């Protein structure tokens, strides 16, 4: 359990914890596929549990949104460890692509998580804390321009990822242009 998950009421019993995790996966998949209004009974069905189990763990749709969002943010932040040993530019590039994929997949959450609640603020802080060392290492290496900070970079990639692309591979092209703009000249 990560620092962000510690903010949530996660069950401690093994069987209840398994149901909780299944609900997070079912909800993530349903929200990604069906949007923010995915029926809760569909989420329970995908998780292989009854609707009462869903409500016992998540009494409101907002509580479910929050838990799925926190779970996905933790996965994004933890992905930094997988990049250890790569050159700084490659680490930053791969993580920003993962951030872009995270953002594109979380369009359903954009409105629900647009409010600056303590959990949303903690998630934002965690994302910034995960990305800052990657950016600073690439800047120290002289590859990335030094007049940008992680806020600038994440806002740029968030904007790109929230765009609606009309052809396959267009995100990669636009992200490539953004990467070219980050490089030190």
Closest to 83 (Cα-Cα) out of 70, 71, 96, 101: 96
Residue with tokens 């934002």: 124
d(CA 40, CA 117): 23
| Strand, coil or helix: 9 | coil
CATH of 5-182, one of 1.10.357.10, 1.25.40.80, 3.30.70.20, 3.40.50.880: 1.10.357.10
Domain ranges of the chain: 5-182
Per-residue pLDDT of the chain (185 residues; tens, 9 = 90+): 466 655 566 656 788 889 989 999 999 999 888 888 899 999 999 999 999 999 999 999 888 988 998 999 999 999 999 999 999 999 999 999 999 988 887 776 666 666 677 888 888 999 999 999 999 999 999 999 999 999 999 999 999 988 888 999 899 999 999 999 999 77
Closest to 174 (Cα-Cα) out of 164, 160, 184: 160
d(CA 139, CA 148): 9
- What long-range pairs does 142-148 form, CB within 8 A, spacing at least 24? 142/184, 143/88, 143/89, 143/183, 143/184, 144/89, 144/92, 144/182, 144/183, 144/184, 145/182, 145/183, 145/184, 145/185, 146/184, 148/182
């Amino acid at each position: 359990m990560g620092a962000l998950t510690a903010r949530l009421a996660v069950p401690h019993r093994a069987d209840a914890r398994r149901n909780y995790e299944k609900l997070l996966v079912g909800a993530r998949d349903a929200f990604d596929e069906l949007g923010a209004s995915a029926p809760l009974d569909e989420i329970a069905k995908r998780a292989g549990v009854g609707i009462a189990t869903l409500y016992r763990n998540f009494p409101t749709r907002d509580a479910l949104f929050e838990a799925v969002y926190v779970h996905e943010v933790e996965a994004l932040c933890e992905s930094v460890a997988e990049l250890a040993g790569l050159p700084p530019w490659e680490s930053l590039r791969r993580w920003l692509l993962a951030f872009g994929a995270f953002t594109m997949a979380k369009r359903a959450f954009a409105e629900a998580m647009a409010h600056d609640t303590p959990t949303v603020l903690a998630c934002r802080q965690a994302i910034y804390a995960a990305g800052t060392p990657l950016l600073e290492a690439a800047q120290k290496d002289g590859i990335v321009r030094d007049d940008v900070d992680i806020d600038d970079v994440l806002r740029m990639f968030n904007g790109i990822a929230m765009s609606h692309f009309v052809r396959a591979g267009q995100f990669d092209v636009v992200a490539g242009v953004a990467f070219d703009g980050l490089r030190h000249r």
